[in-house]
Structure 1
Amino acid sequence: MATKILMLGAGGAIARHVINYLKDEKNVKLTLFARNTGGLAEQAPNASIIKGDVLHKSDLDNAVKGQEIVYANLAGQIDKMAGEIVKSMEAAGVKRLIFITSLGIYNEIPGKFGQWNERMIGSDLIRYRHAADIIEASSLDYTIIRPSWLTDKNETAYETTQKGEPFVGTEVARKAVAAYIVNIIEHPGKDVKASVGINKPGVYGDKPGFY
């Protein structure tokens, strides 16, 4: 039986890499949900495409129903979206959530890099933290992902840290984050009820090299 996966914010850059990894997998049934669905049907001809808004309850409820894994790759009112996703999944009895937030939400970045990150992201960190708090208080089997500063490099190397551990890596490729997400989809028992930092191994410093 194919695993039914709903991707919210499927037009996002990380999501596009996840789609590329999964689009030809016979044991996966993809549903791609986005406000702007342009190009999705061409990228993944076998996927179901839904044009919708996470903050429109009927759009979200209809998409979530019958799914097994929900992967959310969203921006904007991220805390409000997290609340709606939790409510919709709990009502539908869908348990497994993969949700992208931001590094720095737990003040987990030591030293100058932490100070720089806080300055750069600013008040958005509060919204990302609130989203994580909502998900962590839910009954879902969640994995919250906190990626480092993102690059478009064609590489898949990553290392992870758990909540409560210091976060030191200054960058990570979107393709590498996608590789981690696909690994979770293929092994849904991994990193359950976890908040996971993800960064490129060996690239540490006071700020990302591209700044």
Structure 2
Amino acid sequence: MTGEARRGYAKGRAKRVEILDQAMAMFGEVGYRGASLRVIATRCGISHPGLLHHFPTKGSLLLAVLEHRDEVDGEWFSVGEPTGVDCLRRLVDLAVLNAERRGIVELFSVLAAEATSAEHPAHAYFVERYRNLVLTTAVSYGEARDAGALREGIDPGEAAQQLIALMDGLQTQWLLSGCATDMAGVMRAHLQAQLTVPL
């Protein structure tokens, strides 16, 4: 690849990331249905056909936004390859991180609600995402149990469903309270009541 081709490729990648950032902000503001590709293109300083060159449909842009966010969070979450209690602790850390990025929390809350409709382009994405979240969280609870860190009588599968539901509910309360709800504090207290070791 020539130097000029490399610069063109880097410029294209940078524009793609800018489009994802602007789309993420707009989906968070007005939801998927209310977002306009033309407005997103204008915010990025490109034409509507220019945006379609990167993302041919609104649905493809939405899925790219969701995957981009998951990729970034996934890298952060897996640092040090935590297991068991450390993984559960990392979920509390995620609540701390989310308290600093209202736009992303709003995006996921709006889209998760919209995507309950089977016709929504992100429906399959959210079905799979929740399935994986509950499964991986259940594995963490199971590892905590095997290490003797989980209180007697707590089922890892049920505890995982409860924790993910608690996280989502807290995010909605946090958004509606003007960011006053202590998401991490409530999650920490919930988890600590389930564990035999300090969180």
**What is the TM-score with the length of structure 1 in the denominator?**
0.27
Larger radius of gyration between Structure 1 and Structure 2: 2
**What is the TM-score with the length of structure 2 in the denominator?**
0.28
Q: Which has the higher strand share?
A: 1
Q: Which has the higher helix share?
A: 2
